[in-house]
Structure 1
Amino acid sequence: MKSLKKIALVFSCMALLGAGSAFAADAAQSSPLDEVQANPEVMRAPGTYVTSGEIVAVENGMYIIRGEGSRNMVAAIVDRDTYVVEGASGKLRLPYALKEGQKVTAYYSATMTRSMPPQSHALAIVIEDSEEPASFFEVAQASLAKDGSYVTVLNTNNDVIATIDANACADFAKIKKGDKLLVWSSMMTMSLPAQTHAEKVVVLP
């Protein structure tokens, strides 16, 4: 009887070890860091800056934003190529929707004038009309999982990796390099690059 118990214990341990190995293998295969490659040089010199704050003035197509981020104050130049979006719904708006006193997050070119405040072309301005507004995300790399269940994307600043599945975006498998996205997520790791699982994604036109 004791021998049978010992044999059963050995097989139980082997099964647990096997399950642990399989889990570790699956985790390694599904790691976002293995699917896209971030470049530290790009992280150190990003092409896109971000400032979250308040529109304090509007002057001839320029929106003066004071807040926190890459710059404490910036004059964001808004034109026909700028995405102006509602942070809660992702709905596109015209520039006149931007008003003095609004809370916004501006995504703008790192190429700026030497004026005070510096002027820069705005890639996107997200109106912060909710507690968890969307983030603007321009895709630098996209890697579809082997089983086709999700896509892993890296942004152009190489500092954020997002995992997107069918629950977040019906057409996730079509997302490719160069696409511009609105990404909603409630949690993000503190790593570099940061990692997040998207809860909702809208592909901008």
Structure 2
Amino acid sequence: MNKKKVIIVATLAGLMATTAAVEASGFMKKVQGLLRSDVTVTVNGEQTSMKPVFINGQAYLPAKSEAAALGYDVTYNARDKRLELNTHEEGPGQGEQDLMRMQGIIETVTTGSDGSTIITVLGRGSSNWMVLTIDKDTVLTDSDGKKLDPKSLKPGQDIQEAQYGPIVAMSYPGQSHAVKVIVGSDHLVKDAVIQSVKKTDDGWQVTVNNSANGESATAVVLNSGKETQVVDQERQPLEFSQLKAGMKVRAYYGPIMTKSLPPISPLFYLVADTTTAATLSPEQVKEFQTLSWNKLTDDQKSHLKSKKDEAEVTLTGAADSGILTSTDEQKKALADLQAKGGHIVIVSYSTDQDALLGPLSLGFDSETKTFLGFRARR
């Protein structure tokens, strides 16, 4: 809820006071005053019907009774010579309207030199990455309003809302003091390598494992949802189509998981290191060597110098593959792969015609293993 602050300003220079002083004295007495129609009282820029009464040179406003009816507390700011009406939830000074808000998930938790707790929060939108300091002045609770100990914070916890500011360091990630933090449920955290990325009818499915060729017992299949956020190492947004096998990632998922093998779980945040090159496991290399060998004609094999298991297998971007398609299906498959920034596996053989034509190379979709064509020779 945005808290409201109402500023009452008298256009006549001089002192102002509320009726509080009179009521606090415990008695009332009859006085004579002057009602000035040339003095205006405004609330949020709007003129009101309140008229101050001047008694012995002082302006008296019926502010307290008016404020109470509206649910405000009255504070007199002597320096600025003004009355401030604050909601009961808000004390004098800074209100919640000066604070910024974010939702997200805790990435790291550290302890500051002064004993404060420092959390890095991965969020959404403009507040996509923040470092927040939690100290004795921070209101830290769970979703039910129960007070939490900062020592209980850990990576993977959901931040339902963090209010911070109003001062934010001009850095990336931004840094600020947390005024209020509401902590939600816990999620699982896994540092892994992408094994495969697949588009489904319901979204995207990412299989991660301890390594690119890890056993199925350590793999996890992560399903995307409407709230899933994918970012790179700079915490900038990424499309699922930009994720590739071999990329190192940190996944925030679960805690719900199926009992299947590999287990399936909902994905909330995925941080991908796009600087890590996609690689092929030894098993994958052998598989593509076999696929390519089976595509060769007897005439092509007669010119080979490389044996089946000596073929060079590399992974390259579809846009730079140099593959020449021969059918409409291959042409469409290559175009789709290039459009989404996919990879092609190139299998190359040395031949007795290399001096004239160059090596014989075949291209396959790295994910579907579909044969796309031969690479252009000289």
Structure 2 length as normaliser, TM-score?
0.23
Higher relative contact order, chain-length normalized (CA < 8 Å, sep 6+): 1
The structure with the larger Rg is: 2
Structure 1 length as normaliser, TM-score?
0.41
